[in-house]
Amino acid sequence: MDPFQCAGWGQKHSAIRCLRPGTKACKGCYLVMYCSKDCQAAHWPVHKVDCKNHIRKSDWRPAWEVENRVPQFIDNSDEEHTPVAMYGGNKYLWGNVPALDLLQLKENEGEGYCQDLSLLLAASGDLRNLVKTIASLPDRYRGYIHLDINDRDDAVVARNLIFLLVSFNLPPDIASEAILHLWYSAFLPEPLLQSIRRAVCPTIRDFLAAKPVQAAGLLQKTWSCGSSTLAATLTRAEWDRVLSYLPEVPDISYDKAVTLHKSVTLAHSRRDYRDRALFPLHPSWRLSVWKFRSDGILLPFGVSREDFRVPNPTLFHNEHPWPMPDSADPLQGWTLAEVLHASYGAKHDLYGQLYVHIKRYLETFCKRLHTLKLNICLFKKDAMDLPDKLATLRGKETFYDRIELANIADLGYLGPAKTLALFGPLLKSKKENPKATLIMLFLNATREMSTAGDQLSCMPRAMDTLQRFLPMRPRHGVPTNKYNADFLNQMDALDLFTDNDTLFNRLIERARFRDMGSFLGLEMKVDNSIVAKWPMRLGENPTQHEFEMVFWSGHTGCERYVEWHRVV
DSSP letter for each residue of 450-500 = --HHHHHHTHHHHHHHHHHHSPPPP-SS----SS-HHHHHHHHHGGGGS-H
Q: Supply the pLDDT for residue 12.
A: 53
The last residue of a domain, from among 32, 52, 72: 52
> 69-73, 243-247, 376-380: which range is least confident on average?
69-73
Identify residue 500 by its one-letter amino acid code.
Answer: N
Q: Is residue 333 part of a domain?
A: no
Identify residue 373 by its one-letter amino acid code.
Answer: K
Question: Are residues 124 and 45 located together in one domain of the fold?
Answer: no
Q: Supply the pLDDT for residue 476.
A: 45
Q: Is residue 444 part of a domain?
A: no
Please tell me whether residue 50 adopts helix, strand or coil conformation: helix
Model confidence, pTM: 0.94
Judged against a pLDDT cut of 60, whether residue 368 lies above it is answered with yes
CA-closest candidate to residue 231, choices 377, 351, 100, 410: 377
Q: Supply the pLDDT for residue 471.
A: 80
CA-closest candidate to residue 133, choices 531, 497, 494: 531
> Which positions ≥6 away from 111 have C-beta within 8 Å?
105, 138, 140
Q: Is residue 10 part of a domain?
A: yes
Question: Are residues 45 and 125 located together in one domain of the fold?
Answer: no
Question: Are residues 46 and 125 located together in one domain of the fold?
Answer: no
Alpha carbon distances (Å) from 451 to 84, 198, 202: 23, 55, 56
Question: Are residues 241 and 370 located together in one domain of the fold?
Answer: yes
Q: Is residue 437 part of a domain?
A: no
Average pLDDT taken over every residue of the chain:
91
pLDDT band at 82 (very low <50, low <70, confident <90, very high): very low
Distance (Å, whole) CA 422 – CA 434: 20
The residue-averaged pLDDT of 418-428 equals: 97
Identify residue 256 by its one-letter amino acid code.
Answer: K
Judged against a pLDDT cut of 90, whether residue 498 lies above it is answered with no
- What percentage of the chain carries pLDDT values higher than 90? 72
pLDDT band at 56 (very low <50, low <70, confident <90, very high): very high
Question: Are residues 124 and 43 located together in one domain of the fold?
Answer: no
Judged against a pLDDT cut of 60, whether residue 479 lies above it is answered with no
Question: Are residues 11 and 126 located together in one domain of the fold?
Answer: no
Q: Is residue 369 part of a domain?
A: yes
Cβ 225 vs Cβ 168: under 8 Å: yes
Question: Are residues 122 and 224 located together in one domain of the fold?
Answer: yes
Q: Is residue 95 part of a domain?
A: no
Question: Are residues 372 and 233 located together in one domain of the fold?
Answer: yes
Domain total in the chain: 2
Cα torsion at 34, 35, 40, 42 (round to 10°)?
-130
Question: Are residues 136 and 44 located together in one domain of the fold?
Answer: no
Q: Is residue 335 part of a domain?
A: no
Please tell me whether residue 98 adopts helix, strand or coil conformation: coil
Question: Are residues 375 and 228 located together in one domain of the fold?
Answer: yes
Q: Supply the pLDDT for residue 180.
A: 98
Q: What is the residue range of 379's domain?
A: 117-250+359-424
Cα torsion at 484, 490, 494, 495 (round to 10°)?
90
pLDDT band at 159 (very low <50, low <70, confident <90, very high): very high
Q: Is residue 265 part of a domain?
A: no
Question: Are residues 136 and 11 located together in one domain of the fold?
Answer: no
The residue-averaged pLDDT of 306-310 equals: 95
- The conformational region for residue 541 under phi > 0 = left, psi -120 to 50 = alpha, else beta, is left
- What percentage of the chain carries pLDDT values higher than 70? 94
Question: Are residues 123 and 13 located together in one domain of the fold?
Answer: no
The residue-averaged pLDDT of 24-44 equals: 93
